[in-house]
Chain A
Amino acid sequence: MEKKSFEILDVTLRDGSHAMSHAFTPEQVRDTARALDAAGVRYFEVSHGDGLGGSSLQYGLSAHDELELIEIAADECKQAEVSVLLIPGIGVKGNLQNAVKAGAKMVRVATHVTEADVAAQHIALGRELGLKTVGFLMMSHMAPTAKIVEQAKLFESYGAEVVYVTDSAGYMLPQDVTERISALKQSIGCDIGFHGHNNLSMAMANTVAAVEAGATFIDGSLRALGAGSGNTQTEVMVAVLERLGYETGIDLYKIMDAANDVVTPYMPRPQEITGSSLVMGYSGVYSSFLLHTQVAAKRFGVDERDILLELGRMKAVGGQEDLIYDVAQGIAVRN
């Protein structure tokens, strides 16, 4: 077998927070963290779905303090390390300092694909605190490759050790991923990551494309528990990568057990590709809008797909959940 050439980062306890309406319990976090650690996953992420400080009326209030959840997860780690997500504009440096006190060892600072320069101070703080520090370019489908290269260079110049191409809308096709990762591989020195969503059933194919183009950090979630139709399914990814000849360092049976025995019982619904998530992938809408769109559609008596298509047309970016209600109200008035 080839020597392992990448890290798998599991985001169940962060991206899954969207699918769980930000209501993970301490027990669910403890059991999931323990199972991920035991299976050999090196990094996994714990935060509100919208990152540290994301608990809000805009995105959903956390049922349990995320710092407490981070601490519970970190306490379960024998070899794994806890990552946290920080979206400047939502979370602040103080949130990161607190997360580090709670046991976080890695930070992923996320911006819209064209806005990396708002993250300079947060990336610098991550390095100063001795964290594995990552720049995360969300909605990467919305910018041409040259722009992604430019923004990745900014992240690298601030001190990021890994830069992610993030397909937040599950819009990309494998050739889009190959093009972007290959271009980064040629132009930046730091590691490259890929984070996918499965709204068009492309998450696994995109992940394989990313690895083959040189990505060395790849994200997944157990049973695909993440926003929209979820992420690349971690346990399936382990199996696929083994078939491709990579050594993942993860025990296949144990990661399957983590998915099926620990995560499945608390999933509110299967991570299927529904009409709405399909439209998200098709029109390039941020995956965490899914449940908010369902609520707004019901409230204003309009079709979810109409809301999502309109949001795609308006080029909404991550975090604009309030626009969903505004758009739904507008459609209701026009109808």
Chain B
Amino acid sequence: MSKLKVGIIGSGNIGTDLMYKIERCDSLDMSVMVGIDADSEGLKRAKAAGYTVISNGIDGLMEQLDAVDIVFDATSAYAHKAHSDLLTAAGKRVIDLTPAAIGPFTVPPVNLKANFDSPNVNMVTCGGQATIPIVHAISRVAPVEYAEIVATVSSKSAGPGTRANIDEFTHTTARAIEKVGGAEKGKAIIILNPAEPPVIMRDTVNALIKTPHYDEAEIVDSINRMVAEVQEYVPGYRLRGTPQFDGQRVSVFLEVEGAGDFFPAYSGNLDIMTAAAARVANEMAKELLTANA
């Protein structure tokens, strides 16, 4: 079976974890890892695994464009625009794991195939990937006036990119809660917890349903179905307790345990982001390969 070649820009936490996810995709071939520090853990691991390693950033990648079909950007929102412009101009597909949000948002269990025509697809944020499926699960059975998410991640799993981009995280997640989640208004909060041993990613979704008349059982069923769908690509994604109803307010508590590819299992925030991105790319590759067959 033919496959599309993958490049990853950014050899930090996200990029390195993503490399392992790509290795397990049936329609993707891990090909190039791009960083700016030859001594970075990510580049060392990519080199050891036999992939092409570029240590002078996007400039280096532009000289070896034949080695990639789909490029993931796991750098920062600030750097992403320039990367995207260069790569899409060269006809490459770009999957954006920064909160830059140039391209349309994709959250696999909600709109996996909706944006395959777009040269740049955005993966929202880790908090968005963990919570927007639940917002959508509620909004597909009851109108949601407002949805708010709180993502708590371990300090160790939040790299310098996430830290420098904290405002972008809240803006991008809030917009995607509206656009993909289906809430009329969205809000996002992120909390870093430095506890040792590190805490597993936790997320809370609070939603206000627009009408006092709704079917509680239908909402719970929709949430449970959605959790099962996310578990297809993130097995450690689960509800904590049961959804709580209080008048028009619904509260859903979640925990995301990662697969432990690059980072330990507590960093479900990295895992759900990279697993979602790999899923989108793999499906995109299947479609592109079929179209060109």
Contact = CB atoms under 8 A, between A and B. Distances in A.
A314 B195 contact: yes
Contacts of A175: none
Contacts, number: 93
B266 to A, nearest CB: 13
A130 interface: no
B271 to A, nearest CB: 20
A52 to B, nearest CB: 12
Contacts of B253: 322, 325-326, 329
Nearest to A115: B192
A326 B195 contact: no
A114 B155 contact: yes
Interface string A310-321: 000011111110
9 contacts: A56-B148, A57-B146, A89-B169, A89-B191, A90-B170, A92-B170, A120-B164, A121-B164, A318-B191
Contacts of A333: 241
B166 A88 contact: yes
A319 B191 CA distance: 7
B148 A92 contact: no
Interface of A: 56-58, 88-90, 92-93, 112, 114-115, 117-118, 120-122, 142, 314-320, 322-323, 325-326, 329-330, 333
Given A88-B167, A322-B150, 13 more contacts: A57-B148, A58-B204, A88-B166, A89-B191, A92-B167, A118-B166, A121-B166, A316-B193, A320-B191, A320-B193, A325-B253, A329-B241, A333-B241
B24 interface: no
B240 interface: yes
B202 interface: yes
Nearest to B192: A115
Interface string B226-246: 000000000000001110100
Contacts of A56: 148, 187, 189, 206
B187, B195, B241, most chain A CB atoms within 10 A:
B241
Contact of A326 (B167, B189, B202): B202
Given A118-B163, A118-B166, A315 B193 contact: yes
Nearest to B194: A114
Nearest to A125: B167
Interface of B: 146, 148, 150, 152, 155, 160, 163-164, 166-167, 169-171, 187, 189-195, 199, 202, 204, 206, 208, 240-242, 244, 249, 251, 253
Nearest to A50: B189
Contacts of B208: 57
A266 B206 CA distance: 30
The 4 nearest A-B residue pairs measured at CB:
A322-B204, A315-B195, A57-B206, A329-B241
Nearest to B206: A57
A188 B193 CA distance: 26
A330 B242 CA distance: 10
B151 to A, nearest CB: 9
A152 B273 CA distance: 32
Contacts of B244: 325, 329
A88 B158 CA distance: 14
A323 B202 CA distance: 9
A164 B158 CA distance: 24
A114 B158 CA distance: 13
A320 B152 contact: yes
Given A56-B148, A92-B170, A118-B163, A319 B189 contact: yes
B241 A118 contact: no
